[in-house]
A = this chain, B = another copy of it.
């Protein structure tokens, strides 16, 4: 995932997983800064930013902040409406884009995210229900760097939500406990609840599901990922890799701010 000397950027939300990860990686001796993306989700964003800032300030660690509205002229809500996406989809698209872009721009070797076992299991469940073969091929704790992409790692996928909450409580990390108000009732949470029911009856199922996938199935799906990668070229607006002319993030941004798609912006 990372070797000594690698510059790591950890994407932090103010929640237990990402703040816990930042702490863990620093304790392990890595050079790690934080990245907080303000998504404009009302009080929730204000509060989560406060947790991330307080955490960084108390340790005198560097936190890069990028505000979606200030930097790009829209927020998750207006982006979702403009692109006719669910809010969680507009949010995911924005975060993926900004995380990768910020890591490359600021010269980091690795982007780390705090996805835990529960997250991975729910995402895997959704990908398997629809047999999203390309997503399955990409669902791995280490995605190597590629042209236009920084290396991406998810060091926490063996740890459950509860374990990470316990780690934060035991080490005195203060984190935002509330869930995002936009996520209520989304599919991902529905899958999490189902997997929790199964886990209750058959403890160990979640770990067997995710780790069994990585051990025995994931690489059967990597062919599609390589094929898809061969089709990528730089977005004509932001130069991020995309299968079309303009990447999905720039298309959403243009629609949200009422610009014709394809106009180059200075950045």
Q: Is the interface of A mostly helix, strand, loop or mixed?
A: helix
Q: Shortest Cβ distance from A142 into chain B, in angstroms?
A: 19
> With A and B bound together, what is the CA distance between A166 and B9 in angstroms?
58
| Interface assignment of A129: CB less than 8 Å from any CB of chain B | yes
Can you list, as one digit per residue, whether each of A194-211 has a CB less than 8 Å from chain B (1) or not (0)? 100110011001001100
Tell me, yes or no, whether A190 is within 8 Å of chain B by CB: yes
A167, CB-defined interface residue at 8 Å: no
Q: How many copies of this chain?
A: 2
Interface string of A172-190 (1 = CB under 8 A from B): 0000000000000001001
Contact B217 A129 (CB under 8 A): no
Distance in angstroms between the alpha carbons of A114 and B52 in the assembled complex? 57
Residues on B with C-beta less than 8 A from A213 are 131
Q: Which residue of B lies closest to A223 (CB)?
A: B220
Known: A194-B194, A194-B197, A201-B190. A130 touches B212 (CB 8 A): yes
In the assembled complex, the CB of A127 is this many whole angstroms from the nearest CB of chain B, namely 11
- CB of A45 closer than 8 Å to a CB of B: no
Q: Say if the beta carbon of A216 comes within 8 Å of chain B.
A: yes
| Nearest CB on B from A141, distance (A) | 16
A residues 68-110 near B (Cβ < 8 Å) are: none
- A128: chain B residues within 8 A (beta carbon): 128, 209
| CB closest chain-B residue, reference A214 | B131
Q: Per a CB cutoff under 8 Å, which of B130, B133, B190, B208 touches A130?
A: B208
Given known A190-B201, A194-B194, A197-B194, contact A217–B130 (CB-CB < 8 A) = no
B190 & A131 in contact (Cβ 8 Å cutoff): no
In this assembly, does A221 line the interface, its C-beta being within 8 Å of a C-beta of chain B?
yes
Give the residue name and chain of the B residue nearest to A121 (CB). Answer: B129
Show the binding face of A for B, using Cβ within 8 Å: 128-131, 133, 187, 190, 194, 197-198, 201-202, 205, 208-209, 212-213, 215-217, 220-221
23 A-B interface contacts by CB (under 8 A): A128-B128, A128-B209, A129-B205, A129-B208, A129-B209, A130-B208, A130-B209, A130-B212, A131-B208, A131-B212, A131-B213, A131-B215, A131-B217, A133-B216, A133-B217, A187-B201, A190-B198, A194-B197, A194-B198, A217-B220, A217-B221, A220-B220, A220-B221
